[in-house]
Structure 1
Amino acid sequence: LHQEVRHFYKYRAIEKMLEGKTLEEAKPVIERISGNESIAYQSAWRDIVLEATGTQLPEANRRYHALLLEMERLIHHLTDLGFIPNDAGFGAALAFASRLAEEARRMLRTLCGHRFGFGAIDFEAHTLVREVFLAYLEALEKEVAFFEAWILDIPSLWDRFDTTGILKKEKAVKYDTVGVVARASGLGLDCRNNDFYRAHGFQMQIQQSADVSARFMVRLKEVQNSITMMRHFSMDRCEGVTPGSAKDGTYEAFVESSLGELYMSVTLQNGVIDRFFVRDPSFMNWQALHLMMPNNIIADFPLINKSCDLSYAGNDL
């Protein structure tokens, strides 16, 4: 009949914890706020450092960081592409997609030294073994194409997906939804919709049916688009950059994480953080989840919930 989402019982005091720290001292905490979005959080931190120090990031470094962010998106979309069918009783999809997600995590570790991308975004020089990475993308593309053909040819699965957990467009707007949830309801919202990303192959992925099937297809198409972009982002080497001293002021950053638009604001005073604020995309999408529940069977709750892939850690700061 109705679902009440109750959060904020887990208080980690992250915002207060960072007060009095320099931007560099704050980074190990910021990148661990939400393990699903570590690279996205680091990317927001990077943009604030660049703005506060007046530093320009070279094109090769920007491409390298964007590649890592797409790897993180790829991992989490692949995980969801397995878990969503699993919650409809099709465990084979979970086994297949989990293997692809694990291989992607190992590739991320090869790229930056950590399976979850901790410490991935920095201002150091990096070398990419481009041939190995491109071979990985080619193999992955074939696996994803097989997965798509396989999963689309299972009518009983789509019988569970179609018209389940609908979030109508006007409600998606009213509740300020972001990310896959918004795009599956027909909203063209994506922080990557800019000249830099479009020049490297970005294409907005939008569905209109606003149900579980729409959220599944947005993820599948974004995986394929991420593979395309990572081919364009791949480079042989990026050089080190040394940011200057951060100036006092308030700085903001927006990054499209795997879950949607991540917002971060930092106020610096006397060279250290006076106020830190972050708004995870899940903070927005959790508030709309209850709208998807009425008129569905109880067994579809986990299916609807997983199709949104909401973060507890990013919400309860």
Structure 2
Amino acid sequence: MERNMVRRKLSGDELAPAVSELLAAGYRLALVAAHDDGDTLRIVYLLLAGQPDRRVELTLTTDAATPSVPSLAHLSIPAGRFEREMMDLYGVVPQGHPQPRRLVRHGHWPQEWYPMRRNAGNPPPFPSAGGFPFLTVHGPGVYEIPVGPVHAGLIEPGHFRFSVIGESVLRLKARLWFVHRGIEKLFEGRTALGAMGSVELAERISGDSAAAHSLAYSLAVEEAVGFDAPEPVHRLRALLVELERLYNHATDLGALANDVGFALANAHAQGVRERLLRINRRVTGHRLLRGAIRPGGVVLQELPEPDELRALAHEVAEISALTLRNTVVYDRFADTAVLAHDDARAIGCLGYVARASGIATDSRFDHPTTSLPVTAVPGTGGDVLARYTIRRDEFAASVALACALIEEHRGSLRSNASLTATVGNSGVGIVEGWRGAVVHRVEVDEAGRITRCKIVDPSWFNWPALPVAMADTIVPDFPLANKSFNLSYAGNDL
């Protein structure tokens, strides 16, 4: 598909006006990536707009000895967070940032050690303790409830600090990055080419988004080496991303019902999930769709049966109707944890979180790799109910899309082109994963090795929205609100 990429090199004085102009024109800041080039650090700002697919990369260089950039936090909430991330990992100081606190590095991390720098070396000794400057809310009757980072059940770690009066939440602070694994650093030096290369690592960024991340990575590598996959490959890859959307949405529809005590609906939904995972196993050889998407191709073992998917769609529709007919469930969902449209837009929300708040965003329309019969699923309200019904409607739309892709496919289920790199270059991959837009930006050298891989999972954009939605919500509704967002800790923490 045709796309328009513009690249510009800017000075520090030119950065803010250029970004401000693009934001006003409808672009969004998709990522900010720092690169250690030795004597200088290079900062790349990627801004995206859709329909038609438009991409702008702005590049700024700064001295490696005393790196700094002018802060864009006054223009964009995501920009302020990207800047704090760069400060933690590269030591780049955002000049003029209103809250230049640590983001990734917890309090026990050494002060002057920046792990993404070339000369970082091995980790120095970590102090045994270090605090985080939580904002304390004062007033008559106000108290704090700390939750986590270790939680009951098989979920990832994150700390939540509630400031509460009675049962109503006045303020919530989410402290993440307990599962920071240095994923972007692990990509450096790995081969980008060959049958598999680094794609196995991409599949493991966030376990429930293996197809989306492996596809975003593959698209980025293919763009970097100047390869455009054939149309059938794009369509088979799109099918796998839809299968990933299906099993995750089915899981969430059941889990949301379970969080308000409606275990019957959850039991039926988990049965649907299990059948979808078995379909995944037949199609790719892996229940989580690993091993099928790679730079240069795709490998499937068989196609799903459309009638089987349609039967599951009918079952999910029945489960959803049963759930929402229950007045207790409906009452718990409606008007709970409302994320207003303007707040969602300011935060930069993506995926079903954004769509439930009335924001039309979908990379299948905005940044397509091929023309797909996608049905737009709008939403309003911004509450738990809206995030539930968006998933319900997206499940039906995704089944329709998957069946169309299956029934229209002709030819082989396997394609594996040999890729070569002759010069160093960069590429961007954008995929509408089940949570929202997944973006990878890679730089590949002339030997075909990854020199930098910047990853942005949609959870990175959506996590700041959860505390906003929790304002004036009661504490007992936090598990329900949290599940309605269902954000990835690993995808955020990297």
Shift of 1:243: 3.5
193-202 or 176-185: bigger deviation: 193-202
CA deviations on 1:131-160 (whole Å, 9 max, x unpaired) are x61121132122123223322311211101
Aligned residue for 2:365, secondary structure, equals coil
- Partner residue in 1 for 2:178: 9
The structure 1 residue matched to 2:254, chosen from 82, 90, 94, is 82
- Partner residue in 2 for 1:256: 432
Q: Share of identical aligned residues, percent?
A: 36
- Partner residue in 2 for 1:29: 201
Q: Which has the higher contact order (CA 8 A, sep 6+)?
A: 1
Mapped pair 1:240 → 2:240? no
Question: Which residue type is aligned with residue 276 of structure 1?
Answer: C
Given that residues 377 and 390 in structure 2 are in contact (C-alpha distance below 8 angstroms), is that contact kept between their aligned partners in structure 1? yes
CA distance in 1, matches of 2:370, 2:332: 34
Q: TM-score, normalised by structure 2?
A: 0.61
CA distance in 1, matches of 2:285, 2:469: 39
Question: Which residue type is aligned with residue 316 of structure 2?
Answer: V
- Partner residue in 1 for 2:489: 312
CA RMSD of aligned residues (A): 1.8
1:196-235 aligned within 5 A: 200-234=372-406, 235=409
Shift of 1:29: 0.9
Mapped pair 1:268 → 2:444? yes
Q: Which has the higher helix share?
A: 1
Mapped pair 1:152 → 2:328? no
Q: How many residues align?
A: 315
Question: Which residue type is aligned with residue 135 of structure 1?
Answer: D
> Structure 1 residues 168 and 56, CA, compared in 2 at 3 Å: closer, same or farther?
same
Gaps of 5+ in 1: none
Q: Which has the higher strand share?
A: 2
Aligned residue for 1:203, secondary structure, equals coil
- Partner residue in 1 for 2:243: 71
Gaps of 5+ in 2: 1-169
Aligned residue for 1:240, secondary structure, equals strand
Q: TM-score, normalised by structure 1?
A: 0.94
CA distance in 2, matches of 1:126, 1:8: 35
Given that residues 57 and 241 in structure 1 are in contact (C-alpha distance below 8 angstroms), is that contact kept between their aligned partners in structure 2? no
Aligned residue for 1:164, secondary structure, equals coil
Q: State which structure, 1 or 2, has the greater radius of gyration over its C-alpha atoms.
A: 2
Mapped pair 1:285 → 2:454? no
Question: Which residue type is aligned with residue 245 of structure 1?
Answer: T
- Partner residue in 2 for 1:134: 306
CA deviations on 1:202-221 (whole Å, 9 max, x unpaired) are 11212111100000000000
1:33-72 aligned within 5 A: 33-72=205-244
Shift of 1:196: 6.1
CA distance in 2, matches of 1:92, 1:106: 22
CA distance in 1, matches of 2:476, 2:236: 42
CA distance in 2, matches of 1:87, 1:124: 38
CA deviations on 1:14-71 (whole Å, 9 max, x unpaired) are 1111111111421111111110110000111221232123223222221111111000
CA deviations on 1:66-117 (whole Å, 9 max, x unpaired) are 1110000001000000011111111111111100011101100100000111
Question: Which residue type is aligned with residue 322 of structure 2?
Answer: W
Given that residues 184 and 206 in structure 1 are in contact (C-alpha distance below 8 angstroms), is that contact kept between their aligned partners in structure 2? yes
